Chains A and B, each alone.
Chain A
Amino acid sequence: MKGKREILRFSRNWRIQHFLLILSVVLLILSGVALKFYNSWFGKLMIFLEGGFEARGALHRFSAVLLIITAIYHIIYIIFTKEGRREFKALLFKKNDFSDYLNLLLYNLGKKETKPQIGRYGFREKLQYWVFFIFVFLMIATGAVMWWHNYFFVVLPKWVFDLIYGIHGWGGTLILIFIVFWHLYEIHLTPSNFPINMSFWDGYVSEEWLKEEHPLEYEELKKEGK
C-alpha cells in the first residue's frame, strides 16, 4: 500500500470480529478438510496433526462454538450499536453496485472513459460479506443437525441427513474457494495491496489508497472534516 497509513478505516470492534472469524474459520477448514479428504495424504497428515480422528472432531466442534459466538456477537453488533448499523447499511446492495464493478473493470482495461465512483464497500466487498453471511448460517444450521443427530433423528428422515452431510461438505469446499482464496486475492494479493493489507490488523489505510480504491468514502470523510 502506497503512502503513510494514517486513516482509521476499521474500528477495533470490527477488527475483533474479523479476527475471531479468521481464527474459527481457519480451524474449521483445517479440521473439516481433514475429514472430507480423509483418504488423501493431506487428510491423513491433518488428522495426524490434529491428534487423531476423535480429537479432530473435538477441534471442529470447539471452533464451531467460536464461530457461533462470533456470529451472535456480529448480529448484536449490527442491531444494537450505532457503528454496526452504519456498517450494515453500507453493506446492503445498491442498484448500481454490479454495473459499477463491471465498469471499473472495463475502465481499467481502457474500454470506458469515466471511472465509476466506489464507496466504502463496492460490489466485491458486499458479495464477500453476503456470501459469507449466508454460508456461515448454512454451515451452522447443517452442522448443528449433525452434532445433535441423536435428537434430530426424532424429527428428520434419513435422507435429510444424507443431504445435510453433502451440503456441509460441499459448503466447506465452497467457503475455502470463494471466501478464502477469492478474499485473499481481493484484499491482500491484488496489486494495490500486495503482499498484505495490514488494515485488517490495525485498521489504518493511506489517503492515497483510499482516494484510488474507495473515492466516495474518501469524499465523505473529507466532508466530515477528518
Chain B
Amino acid sequence: MKKIVVFTLLFLNLYSQDIVSKNKRCFLCHGKEDYKIIENGKVKSLYVSSAEYYQSVHKDMLCTNCHYDVSTIPHLRKPKKIHCLQCHYAGNVVGAPVKEMPEKYKESVHGRAKEKGKKAPDCIDCHTTHYIRYHSDTLSTIHKRNIPLTCGKCHMKIVEDYSSSIHGEALKKGILETAVCSDCHQEHDILPPEDPRSTLNPKNVIHTCERCHADVTIMKKYGVPVKQVEAFKESFHGVALEYGVVRAANCVSCHGFHDILPSSDPRSPIHPKNLAKTCGKCHPGASENVAKGKYHIIAEEKEAGIVYYVYNFFKWFTLLVILGLVIHIILDLTGRAMKKVKKKAE
C-alpha cells in the first residue's frame, strides 16, 4: 500500500514536473514582464505570469493544450485565437467540466450582442484568460467580493453608483451576504428586464429582492426589517403586480436599484424629504403628505399604529355581527316553531 502511494506521488510529481518544464519553454519569452509586440499600431503585452498561472484551475495543463497550433519554438506565426468551448463542450473527452453555463450565456444580453458582432464580453472577459480561479477563491475575478470590479471593467458608471449604495458599503466591510451584481442580474443568463424570464422583469423584481429580504436569519443579523416583502405583496401595488399590471410600482420604482440607500440617508429616494418626489413619479398630486405615515404595514401587527386598531375593531365587530345574526335566527326560528305547535294544540 505504502509503495503504491509513494509511487503515485512520485509519478504525479514527475508529471507536474514535466508540465512545468515543458511550459518553461513558453515562459522563456512570455514570462518576461516587458514582452510585447506592436499590433495594428497598438502596444500589446504578451506577458503571462507563470506564478499566477500555476495557481489557476488550469495549472496542470500545457500551454499547447489550448494553443494547439504552436509546435515549434519560436513559433513563426501568430497562434490562432482560441476559445473555451474548444474543451468546455458537453461530451468532451479531456474531462473539462461543463455546466449549463455556455448555453445560458448564448441566451444572455452579452451572448446575443456578441452574436450580432457587437463588442460584448465573452468567457475570458470575466473569467480572465490565463488565471482562471474557482469562484470560491478570494482572488478569483468571479469571487463574490470581486464581482463588482469585474463587471465594472465595462459598466463603470454603474459600479460607481453601486459602491456608494448600502449593498456596496456592506461589501466594502466584507459582508458577503450583501447583494452584488450577479445576485440580482444572474451570472451567465443575464437577460434584459423586458424579458419575462428576467429576474428584473417588473413582475419578478419582488421575488429577486425577497430572496434575501424575506430571509429572517440574514435580515436579523444586520437589523434590516424583514416583513417589508410580505406587506408589499398584500398592498395594492403588490396585488396589481401579481396580476400582471406592470405599471404598478415594484421595489425598485421607489427604492432605486444600483444606488439603493436606507431611508435614513438624505440621498435616498425614500428619505421622508424625498418621498413626495418619488411618489410623484406616478402620482402627480403627491405632496409632503405622503411622508406622514408608515410604509409596508401589516394591519395585524401593532407597528401598523392606527390601522392595527381599526383592523381589530372591525375584526371583533364583524364577529359580533355574525354572532348576533346566529342568535337572532335561532330565537326567531324556535319562537315561530313554538307558536305553530301552540296554535295546532288549540
The chain A residues found within 8 Å of chain B, CB to CB, are: 35, 38, 47, 52-54, 104-105, 107-110, 149-163, 165-167, 170, 173-174, 177-178, 181-182, 185, 190-192
Contacts and interface: CB of A to CB of B under 8 A. Distances in A.
Contact of A47 (B243, B311, B339): B243
A165 B311 CA distance: 11
B292 A174 contact: no
B286 A110 contact: no
Interface in B293-346: 293-295, 297, 299, 304-307, 310-311, 314-315, 317-318, 321-322, 325, 328-329, 331-339, 342
Contacts of A105: 331-332, 335
Contact of B291 (A47, A158, A165, A185): A158
B199 to A, nearest CB: 23
B337 to A, nearest CB: 8
Contact of B325 (A38, A108, A163, A181): A181
Contacts of B240: 53
Interface stretch (B59-67, B190-198, B256-264, B277-285): B277-285
Nearest to A43: B239
A154 B339 contact: no
B236 interface: yes
A149 B245 contact: no
B293 A157 contact: yes
A150 B284 contact: yes
A110 B338 contact: yes
Contact of A177 (B242, B290, B325): B325
B336 A153 contact: no
Nearest to B341: A110
Contacts of A160: 293
A190 B339 CA distance: 14
- Which of A53, A155, A190 has the most CB atoms of chain B within a 10 A radius of its CB? A53
A192 B336 contact: yes
Given A157-B289, A182-B321, A185-B325, 18 more contacts: A53-B244, A53-B245, A108-B332, A108-B335, A109-B331, A150-B283, A153-B279, A153-B287, A154-B285, A157-B293, A158-B290, A162-B304, A162-B307, A174-B317, A174-B318, A177-B318, A178-B321, A190-B332
B7 to A, nearest CB: 67
The B interface is mostly helix, strand or loop, or mixed, namely helix
Name the 4 nearest CB pairs between A and B, nearest first. A108-B335, A158-B293, A157-B292, A159-B293
B293 A162 contact: yes
Nearest to A152: B285
A150 B305 contact: no
A52 B243 contact: yes
A166 B299 contact: yes
Nearest to B337: A191
A163 B304 CA distance: 10
Contacts of A156: 289
A158 B322 CA distance: 32
Given A38-B239, A110-B342, A162-B307, A54 B332 contact: no
Given A109-B331, A153-B290, A174-B317, A159 B305 contact: yes
Contact of B287 (A108, A154, A191): A154
A53 B325 contact: no
Contact of B236 (A109, A155, A165, A192): A165
B318 A173 contact: yes
A182 B290 contact: no
A165 B294 CA distance: 14
B297 A182 contact: no
A177 B243 contact: no
20 contacts: A108-B334, A109-B334, A150-B285, A151-B285, A157-B289, A157-B292, A158-B289, A158-B291, A162-B297, A166-B310, A166-B311, A167-B310, A170-B314, A170-B315, A173-B314, A181-B325, A182-B321, A182-B328, A185-B325, A191-B337
